[in-house]
Chains A and B, each alone.
Chain A
Amino acid sequence: MPPSNLVVEKLRQQIDCLEETQSRFSRTIPVADAIDDWLPYGGLPAGCVHEVKGNNLASAIAFSAVLSSRLVADRGYILYVAPDRFLYPLGLLPYGVKLDRLLHISVRRSRDLAWAVMEALRCPQVSSVIAVLGGLDLTDSRRLQLAAETSGATGFLLGSAGSAPISSAMTRWKISSIVSKSGQRFDQPLWGVDLLYCRGGRPGRWILEWRGQKLNSILTQLAQQVSCEALAG
């Protein structure tokens, strides 16, 4: 083999090594058609940590529950970790969550919160963790990301709109309530979904409606316009 080919071969190997990190995120969760096209991975990557903020925690939980239920095969578990017991599991049923796959963990001491999320993310049987966190320091957030990468579990870290951003998150979303059109049913809620940050991608904004076990995107023109504003801001 001529030496130039050797060099090419070596470079190719190096590229393969680099690309291996990319293939870690080959498993993706479909969100909605419009969002899947927008995201660079063709969907929301599984096996990493996402941050979901919202001024309305109920909507943020519902959004995470939709994505988690798409991820859970018959074997995986969804863990809900929160400092309180306000979750009402019957409300999750319409979003596709199977209650026998749900484990509810209430954490009384705030210092156990990050520990509990980490333990949950490490377990290979856990496919998704929905955690209500006040905030997270840099080290902990990095640890969570590493734990998720090794086990393949996906973490949805919920927080209020004002809480400090979690630095290691793969994507950061903001879910807001939107005043419905007249005649909109209450089991078909509308959410304003902002993609505030996406590693390797652009931020965006959509309005999603939950109908027929699907998230349907509506009003795309407005979304385009707002995303330009978000980019400028």
Chain B
Amino acid sequence: MARCFLSVYCPGIAGDRLIRVVEWCDRYSPLVAPDGPDGIILDVTGCTHLFGGEGPLLLDIRRRLHRMGLESYGAIADAWSIAWALARFGRRFIVHGEAAASVLDPMPVEALRIPAELAEELRRLGISTIAAVRKIPRRSLAARFGSTLLWRLDRMFHQAEEPLTPWRPPAPYRASRISGEPVSTVQDVSYVLRDLLREICTRLERDHLGSRRMELACYRLDGTVDRCEVRTSKPTRSLSHLMRLFGEKLAALQSDFGFETFVLSVSDLEALAPEQLSLSQVDSTKEEETFDALVDRFGMRLGFGDVNRVRVCESYLPEYAVEFRSATEPAMASADWPPYRIRPIRLVQPPMRIEVSTLIPGGLPVQFFIGRQKHRILRSEGPERLASEWWRENGSRWGERDYYRIEDDNGYRFWIFCDSSGRWFLHGHLA
């Protein structure tokens, strides 16, 4: 099938502004990329009919850019290079097939997209049009001007493919809605979203896939784009669950002038086997699902880093013995923990330096201070000597620690340790 490229030329645009326009052009086709400092290239193969054909598409894109205050030229052709040349030097803006050669031939050599010095040199030799270049045998062209010129010619006249690397990787599942009137209320947006989700979820179900990450791009009337992303801990294609996750995000959308186009794309996919409908009332997989849904809701609002499962690791040092792992990660086996080791309920991390008073130098403390609060020690149990494992590079700042469980005159129980240089630290609160 013939490819179809749309090149847009916006003189005087650059940098962030160009990237914003590239992002905006995503509404026409997912295959969009910036093309040089002042142009955009779109692969619109198979997309043109959505906008009423090639002519209306060109008109539409130019009119909208004009509304954003941008002067632009656009062209559609079978190859990237042809579209590029037409947008900048052409008189016709849509050219297909054999007609291309006759349109391109009278164009200046700059239309070949060659470096300025090369074009200068060609002109100095009296070669000023593409037709003149094509008349020269390839061998002498290569000998005189190097490979760049030939390479450009080949791309223009279909002897070489020109790959397009899209600005955003195209999503394998994508659905879009263009509304006739701008949509501005959250309720209307969620109505459109439900429609989009229904389409995507049906396709996912057919292909036995589930989404891990989904993105809704909302295109505002003034050319800016709002994106909301939804991540889940397990693959899902449940409409109600996704709607609920999106619901939190939609409330934060700023509609300003209203949205005109919505694109929903799935950027992360995982296999998800079809469900067997169950006749029995209690269904264990269903129950698991609601818990996962809860984890997802927590993750979306609080951040997935703050929703943790606990894993016990093999280490003597209390700060390494417990690991908080994200609940989205698959569960790993926990190490066994011998019950005779008494550990605090709350860990003071990092350990807090405390001032202690002892009766004899180097002996057990009889009282200590936390801030100004004095704690008289009535009972103590210990020591329990804990040292860093040899494979830990930075080891422990405190060397070997002697831990004591102590109780003060109010019945508070603490876990304190004395490091190898004789300083005392509070490391936890016992129940």
Binds B, one of A40-48, A120-128, A133-141: A120-128
In the assembled complex, the Cα of A105 lies from the Cα of B305 at a distance in Å of 9
- Consensus secondary structure, chain A interface: mixed
In chain B between 346 and 388, which residues have their CB closer than 8 angstroms to a CB of chain A?
346-349, 378-379, 381
Q: Is the CB of B428 within 8 A of A100?
A: no
Q: A98-137 interface mask toward B, CB cutoff 8 Å, 1 = contact, 0 = none?
A: 0110111111100010011001100111100000000000
Q: Which residues of B216-263 are within 8 A (CB) of A?
A: none
- Please give me the residue from chain A that is nearest to B291 by CB atom: A125
- List, in ascending order, chain B residues with CB within 8 A of A123's CB: 290-291, 294
Q: Which residues of B contact A182 (CB under 8 A)?
A: 379
Chain A neighbourhood of B302, CB < 8 A: 105-108, 112, 116
- CB-CB under 8 A from B349, the residues of chain A are 85-86
Q: How many residues of B contact A (CB 8 A)?
A: 50
Query: Does A100 contact B334, Cβ atoms closer than 8 Å?
Result: yes
B-chain residues with CB within 8 Å of residue A89 when the two chains form the complex: 310, 312, 322
Q: Mark B122-149, 1 if CB is under 8 A from A, else 0.
A: 0000000000000000000000000000
B193 CB, min distance to chain A CBs, angstroms: 21
Task: Check B306 against A179 for contact (C-beta < 8 Å).
Answer: no
Contact B312 A180 (CB under 8 A): no
User: Nearest residue in B to A182 (C-beta to C-beta)?
Assistant: B379
- With both beta carbons as reference points, the residue of chain B lying nearest to A87 in the complex is identified as B346
Inter-chain contact A179/B345, CB cutoff 8 Å: no
Interface residues of B in 384-431 (CB under 8 A from A): 405, 407, 409-413, 428-431
B61 to chain A, nearest CB (A): 42
Q: Write the A56-86 contact mask toward B (1 if CB under 8 angstroms, else 0).
A: 1111011100000000000101000000011
Whether the Cβ atoms of B306 and A88 lie closer than 8 Å is: no
Contacting pair A189 B431 (CB below 8 A): yes
Within the assembled complex, what's the spacing in Å between the Cα atoms of A151 and B303?
25
A99 CA to B310 CA, complexed, in Å: 6
| A100 adjacent to B331 (CB under 8 Å) | yes
**Inter-subunit contact B409/A94 (CB<8 Å):** no
Contact for A180 among B295, B298, B341, B379, CB less than 8 A: B379
Contacts of A16 in B (CB 8 A): none
| Docked-complex contact B290 and A124, CB < 8 angstroms | yes
Q: Which residues in B have their C-beta under 8 angstroms from that of A75?
A: 287
Is B307 part of the binding interface, using a Cβ–Cβ cutoff of 8 Å?
Answer: yes
Closest to B378 in A: A179
**Chain B's nearest CB lies how many Å from the CB of A27?**
18
Known: A123-B294, A189-B413. A88 touches B342 (CB 8 A): no
In the bound complex, residues from chain A placing their C-beta under 8 Å from that of B345 are 58-59, 61-62, 87-88, 91-92
Partner of B411, one of A180, A185, A186: A180
Q: Does A90 contact B (CB under 8 A)?
A: yes
Interface status of B301 (Cβ within 8 A of chain A): yes
Q: Are B306 and A108 in contact (CB under 8 A)?
A: yes
Asked if A186 and B294 sit within 8 Å, CB to CB, the answer is no
Question: Which of the residues B294, B379, B381 comes within 8 Å of A119, measured between beta carbons?
Answer: B294
Contact assessment for B309 and A58 in the assembled complex, using a CB-CB cutoff below 8 Å: no
- Kindly state the separation between the CA atoms of A106 and B311 in the bound complex, as whole angstroms: 16
Q: How far is the CB of A21 from chain B (nearest CB, A)?
A: 25
A119 with B298: CB separation less than 8 A: yes
Complex CA–CA separation, A103 to B328 (angstroms): 11
Binding site for B on A (CB under 8 A): 56-59, 61-63, 75, 77, 85-95, 99-100, 102-108, 112, 115-116, 119-120, 123-126, 176-180, 182, 184-187, 189-191, 210
Q: List 8 extra interface pairs beyond A56-B429, A93-B343, A112-B301, CB under 8 A.
A: A58-B344, A86-B349, A88-B322, A91-B428, A103-B309, A115-B301, A126-B291, A177-B411
